[in-house]
Amino acid sequence: MSLDSDVIVDRRRMRRKLTFWRVVAVLIAIAALSAVGLAMSPQGRTALSTSGSIARVNIEGLIRSDQERVEALERLENSSAEAVIVHINSPGGTTAGSEQLYDSLVRLKAKKPLVVVVEGLAASGGYIGAIAADHIVAQQSSLVGSIGVLFQYPNVSELLKTVGVKIEEVKSSPLKAAPNGYEPTSPEARAALDALVKDSYAWFRGLVKDRRGMDDALLEKVADGRVFTGRQAIELKLIDELGDEKTAIAWLVANKNVKKDLPVRDYKLVPRFGDLTFLRTATSMALDAVGLSRIARQIERTGVVQAVDRIGLDGMLALWTPASGN
């Protein structure tokens, strides 16, 4: 019995040592992967690749509220980049998202020389973002403008009648949740929406007038919802210069004392490096290799940063976790 007890004790000691060295191996692997990830991350690129260079930022597609974009632009504010060129190719999006982008670019402009290049389209909310800059460059065939606001919603009341469906509701006041698309829009609801649209439109017009230095006559001419080509836009003071990125660089050199021949490097508006796919996968593989499969599955589902946050939790938890696959 004494011999059996000694064997059990030895096995336990060996198991503890093995677990310790597994943990050490994982920490070393994660540290090495993190060093590589840092160089490829937004923070790492800010520190390494934007140093002594001009940062290129791309705003594309529909513009919505995006806190990650806000934080990425804040990191760029504090980077060592000499200047920023913002390329915009967007038809717009939500007014709130466009205002958020505008505010972020204004804060960035206060720290770094900034110029906007219209790739193909800077319309409506895309143009709101563009006028944050003191100088806008567009190609001759680019489209800019569409100064206006709309509120649109589907109305399926006639369809519901056809299929014999009636929506019943009880609400606190006539304008609560109006319009809802299930009944014809009442004159009162339409008037309320009209007031919203006109208020946002007045804000948009005021922003354009202030940022582009327009008088009322010129503002009336450009603020009817139309888009204009780059050739038209320069005459209407919607942009400042025809050209491309090289034109923007020349303006920075001539007007913002930016050094000539600085490299232009992409600054991508992406999530934190701990949640990059390559790092998540590599860390998961390292954990699997040393037998810590449960933690590996957690990282695959939530990412490195969130998994570390989860490990830091203790005490009685009320926490829902999706079931992991086998």
How far apart CA 77 and CA 75 sit, in angstroms, is 5
Catalytic position from the list 124, 142, 146, 284: 124
Dihedrals phi, psi of 55, to nearest 5 degrees: -85, 135
Contact 272, 305 (CB under 8 A): yes
Is 176 marked active-site? yes
Place of tokens 């513009």: 63
Which value, in Å, is the radius of gyration of the alpha carbons in the chain? 28
Q: E strands within the chain?
A: 54-60, 83-90, 114-123, 136-138, 143-145, 227-229, 241-242, 264-266
Which listed residue (176, 198, 221, 268) is catalytic?
176
Residue 124 designated active-site? yes
φ, ψ dihedrals at 112, nearest 5°: -135, 145
Residues paired with 66 in a beta bridge: none
Q: How far apart are CA 160 and CA 181, in angstroms?
A: 10
Residues carrying an active site annotation = 124, 176
